[in-house]
Amino acid sequence: MTIADLRAAHGETLGAAIKANSERTFHAHWPEPPSGKIYGETANDDGLAAFQGQLHKKFDRISPEEKWVGEEKSPYGFPLDISYPQIGVDELVARASDAQTAWQSLSPEDRAAILVEALERGSQKFFEIGYATQHTTGQGFVMAFQASGPHAFDRALEATAMALAAQTSFVQNVLWTKPMGKISVSINKTYRIVPKGINLVIGCSTFPVWNTVPGMFAALATGNSVIVKPHPGAIYPIAILIAELRDIFSSLGLNPNIIQLGVDTIAHPITLELLQHPAIRVVDYTGGPHFGTIVEQECAASGKTVFTEKAGVNCVILDSTHDLDKSIENLAFSLTLYSGQMCTAPQNIFIAQDGMLVNGERVTVEQVASKLSEKIDALVFHEKAGGSTLGAIQNPATALRIQEVRDLKLQIIRDSEAIAQPGFDEARTFSPILLGTDVGRADVYTKEWFGPISFLISTESFESSLAEVVQSIHEQGALSVLVYSTNEALMQQAEDAVVNAGAPIAFNFNSFVWVNQSAAFSDFHGAGCNPAGNATFADWSFVTNRYNVIGVRKQA
């Protein structure tokens, strides 16, 4: 196919995505159920066979190199033993620089069409991507399929459409004529979009596709070449998509090094070396706040553009509800899903010391705590869904953190225990631990406890709870806040306070939408204005800060 063919084939898809970005209504280009009726009756078997066939081998779909590295281990208890081509930092940068010129010379429409074609081809590997994600991150298979497949690809399409809309929001050429009495003067004006340069995308271990593709596709769509530096423990899922991109570039006669995979190991990391290279001009980072701060400081010192999603402390306020069971069930699922290893998962649950108001009657803090523990148990010990909802712990350090929080001697409302995963005897799976305390232990709960760890914290009043949340947003940052209240005045008070502090807020979730989730084309993931990160997937600044517009004027 030619680029013209791709523009014709994908114009409708891009138009619908641009419209969805504007209207913010529900839009999903790829269906989320891992169904054979949707993706083909043999799709799951084919994907599993591809995954199993890749184990203990070189990932040779990218480029042949002299050196190969790889150290991924499944949190379900076995090594993947896959190796990837390793390229030195200077060579990665040199190849990216060589590929940049031809890529940026294409029109925004051409680039967008090529990227959609790569996504469509990549979607044919959703099941392999799902198994690769499951066994690098520990997510349950259904979640892994959705998060790294349809949901991630929708985020990539969202960023591509946002970038296309921004770059085509004005004409590229115009004959400018200024009346000057009896005469006029005319100038031919051209507006050239000039990419800022090589974009480094630093991936994370828990969502190696979902968190990588927004910056990756925003960069590519705006004409930048990209180096993806995945976490050493989660390379395989994003490598599949990068291989598809390189294939489509090559088939169109373009340099495949427009997109590259820069791998390393825990013992010999290359992230800082890449970050400090003067040719790297834009950086996307997802990961912990400590190294995230280093990334921000390095970029500020060298004038690089940086987009970060670090981590915060996400909060919940329990004030009142019409249906305690449904509300607490929803919250319990948010705490249990993927063992709390989501950047949007709740940690601190604030409740006034006189409890919750439920249909005009007071329910004590102890009763709410018991109800929450009961709902977590119902999920954890569900015969069919428990193990897949919990998934496995990606990093052994996260499992050790459970014992660390036990040693603090707080009230243990619900303790954590090892959970068996059918078919995976060595899986690293633990149920959530829920601890009770009050505002006197702010030294404990005001830091992030990544993993299946949460706190039920009693305060003097709703106003005190809200003040705690606002202070937490200012000091630690947040990617989600959830409030349960039937009082309209208190809801408005909470909305104003939380939004003005710089965090998104949700109210009264009690059905099949959870505060952890962020929907492409509708939810702006990350507010970009609190310590949890400076980026938003995907607002205008997420794409426009990757290029400059430079004018050319010629006397007519």
91-100 tens-digit pLDDT: 999 999 999 9
Q: How confident is the model at residue 243 (pLDDT cuts 50, 70, 90)?
A: very high
Tokens in use for 356? Answer: 């919750």
pLDDT in tens, 166-188: 999 999 999 999 999 999 999 99
Q: Tell whether 70 and 141 lie within a shared domain.
A: yes
Which amino acid belongs to residue 30? W
Establish if 483 belongs to a structural domain. Answer: yes
* Within a domain: 375: yes
451 vs 495: CA distance, rounded Å = 27
End-to-end CA distance of the chain: 39
**Assigned domain for 527 exists:** no
Residue 126 inside a domain? The answer is yes
Q: What is the mean pLDDT of residues 241-246?
A: 98
- Quote the tokens at residue 444: 């404990």
CA–CA dist 509, 489 (Å, integer): 18
Q: What percentage of the chain exceeds 90 in pLDDT?
A: 99
Q: Look at residue 185 and tell me if it is in a domain.
A: yes
Distance CA 55, CA 75 (A): 15
Say whether both 383 and 265 belong to one domain: no
Split into its structural domains, the chain has a count of 2
User: Is the predicted pLDDT of residue 241 greater than 90, yes or no?
Assistant: yes
User: Does 227 share its domain with 347?
Assistant: no
Provide the pLDDT confidence category of residue 355 given band limits of 50, 70 and 90: very high
* DSSP class of 69: E
CA atoms of 295 and 80, how far apart (whole Å): 30
Q: Is residue 467 part of a domain?
A: yes
Tell me the C-alpha distance between 509 and 95, whole Å: 48
Q: What is the mean pLDDT of residues 224-231?
A: 98
277, 374: one domain: no
Q: Is the pTM of this model over 0.75?
A: yes
Which amino acid is it at 522?
A: S
Q: What is the pLDDT of residues 119-138, one digit of tens each?
A: 999 999 999 999 999 999 99
Average pLDDT over the chain, rounded to an integer: 97
Q: Are residues 168 and 227 in the same domain?
A: yes
Q: Are residues 295 and 368 in the same domain?
A: no
Whether 210 is covered by a domain: the verdict is yes
Q: Report the CATH number that the domain containing residue 97 is assigned in CATH.
A: 3.40.605.10
The span from the CA of 24 to the CA of 5, in Å, is 29
- Cβ atoms of 152 and 518 within 8 Å: the answer is no
Tell whether 362 and 263 lie within a shared domain. Answer: no
Find tokens 């009082």 and name the residue: 487
3-state SS track over 292-355: HHHHHHHHHHHCCEEEEECCCCCEEEECEECCHHHHHHHHHHHHHHHHHCCCCCCCEEEEECCC
Q: Are residues 233 and 272 in the same domain?
A: yes
328 and 239, same domain (yes or no): no
Q: pLDDT tens digits, residue range 443-502?
A: 999 999 999 999 999 999 999 999 999 999 999 999 999 999 999 999 999 999 999 999
pLDDT at 275: 96
Whether the Cβ atoms of residue 394 and residue 343 lie closer than 8 Å to each other = no
Segments forming the whole domain that contains residue 239: 3-310+535-555
Are both 59 and 172 inside the same structural domain? yes
Q: Are 415 and 254 in contact (CB under 8 A)?
A: no
Question: What's the confidence (pLDDT) of residue 1?
Answer: 86
Query: Both 209 and 240 in a single domain?
Result: yes
**Average pLDDT, stretch 521-527?**
94
Q: What distance in Å separates the CA atoms of residue 92 and residue 198, rounded to the nearest whole number?
A: 10
> Which of 489, 507, 525 lies at the terminal end of a domain, its last residue?
507
Asked whether residue 512 is assigned to any structural domain, the reply reads no
Whether residue 426 contacts residue 76, with contact meaning beta carbons closer than 8 Å, is answered with yes
Q: Which of the four pLDDT bands, split at 50, 70 and 90, describes residue 151?
A: very high
Write the CATH number for 394: 3.40.309.10
Q: Both 244 and 379 in a single domain?
A: no
Q: What is the gyration radius of the CA atoms in the chain, in angstroms?
A: 25
Boundary (domain end) residue, out of 487, 507, 527? 507
Torsion-angle region of residue 124: left (phi > 0), alpha (psi -120 to 50) or beta? Answer: alpha
Residues in the chain, how many? 556
Q: What is the pLDDT averaged over residues 354-382?
A: 97
